[in-house]
Amino acid sequence: MSFSIATWNINSVRLRIGLVQRLLSEAKPDVLCLQETKCPQGQFPSGPLSDLGYTHIAEFGQKGYHGVAIVSRIPFNTQHSRDFCNKGDSRHVSVRFEGEKPFLLHNLYVPAGGDEPDPEINEKFAHKIAFIDEMEEWSKADAMPKGYGAIAVGDLNIAPLENDVWSHRELLKVVSHTPIEVEGFGRIQKAGDWQDVMRNHIPAAKKLYTWWSYRAKDWESSDRGRRLDHIWATKDISDRCTSIEVLRHVRNWPQPSDHVPVVAKFDFNII
């Protein structure tokens, strides 16, 4: 038996619910994690997804900004959301799956950080750095309860490796690829001994992107992308990942998000 998890920054779930339905119908992941749902708590459009068999939904949202949701056709337990940095925004939701290898699934949306990579003059970047620091402590203490593995997915808004951006040299001073962010990213991974599941399957020497700006006239030909969306797992679970697929073609769907889905498949049963 196997199961699959997809992660996707949808950039407004109500605006793009048709795209979510299309993804679920075509890719058929067992679990879909959405970020930037921009949907107030309690107003998530669950009906069209339930009609497709995705009847188990954990959502944490707010009006107009942020928001995360886990949509599953497999039952889960214990929904929880952490208020990182005491901001009162909706950037984390987790659930627990039982079965052959019990684990927690965390869905995260890290702050983008604005345009200026200086916390002294940019409050949004200061928030991002504080969020990264708190994620390090969360990885150490709370992300993996005793007796459980963990998977963490989402839009982490950091492209850590040289080949996670279209130009390492030109983006060193651009938010998402600055040294302070990349160093913080590494600290979070080390704190939880997280495995980069995507790069375990796709070598670091190969360019790999999940986001392309709306500003590009032809995103595909210019291909100035970044890998902002990630799938992490504890080693016992990462070792059971059989494939990673970045669904680039979804960027060409009508009214697309600027992110594309990433799908991971694992060879153990969560039912």
Which domains, ranges and CATH numbers included, belong to the chain? Answer: 3-266 (3.60.10.10)
Give 32-61 pLDDT, tens digit per residue.
999 999 999 989 999 999 999 999 999 999
Give 200-214 pLDDT, tens digit per residue.
999 999 999 999 999
- Model pTM above 0.75: yes
Q: What are phi and psi of 248, to 5 degrees?
A: -60, -35
Give 228-242 pLDDT, tens digit per residue.
999 999 999 999 999
